[in-house]
Amino acid sequence: EIVLTQSPTTMAASPGEKVTLTCLASSSVNYMYWYQQKSSASPKLLIYYTSSLASGVPDRFSGSGSGTSYSLTISSMEAEDAAIYYCLQLTSTPPTFGAGTKLELK
C-alpha cells in the first residue's frame, strides 16, 4: 500500500502568516486530497483532485503538487484554521491517509 508522510508533524503559525503543509507519497499518485479535522468533529474535505477547492472552503486554502510530492497552503493563517490536516490518496487500493499535521495558532 502507498504510505503518505506528512510534514511537519506539528507547527504553530501567527495570524496572517503563510502556512505550507507537505505530503510525500511512497509511490506516484494521480491526485491528492486534503481534509481538516477540528477537535472531535468529523473530517471536512478541503481540496480534491489536488487543487480543486471544496464547496464552502475559503479561498485562502490551496493545493498543489504532482507525482509523489503534494502541498496544502494557507495564504494567511486565521484562528479558525487551527486543526489537524490529513492528506489522502485514492490512486491505489487501499486508500491511505497521512498521519496528519497539527496546526496551532501562535
Interface residues with another protein (CB under 8 A) are: 30-31, 33, 41-45, 48-49, 54, 86, 88, 90-91, 93-100
Rg (CA), the chain: 13
- Shortest distance, position 4 Cβ to another protein, whole Å: 10
Q: Which is nearer to another protein, 75 or 91 (CB)?
A: 91
Q: Cα(96)–Cα(31) distance, rounded to whole angstroms?
A: 13
- Shortest distance, position 41 Cβ to another protein, whole Å: 8
- Shortest distance, position 70 Cβ to another protein, whole Å: 14
Determine how many CB atoms are found less than 10 A away from the CB of residue 42. 7
Give the contacts of 3 (CB within 8 A, at least 6 positions apart).
Answer: 25, 26, 96
Q: Which is nearer to another protein, 46 or 77 (CB)?
A: 46
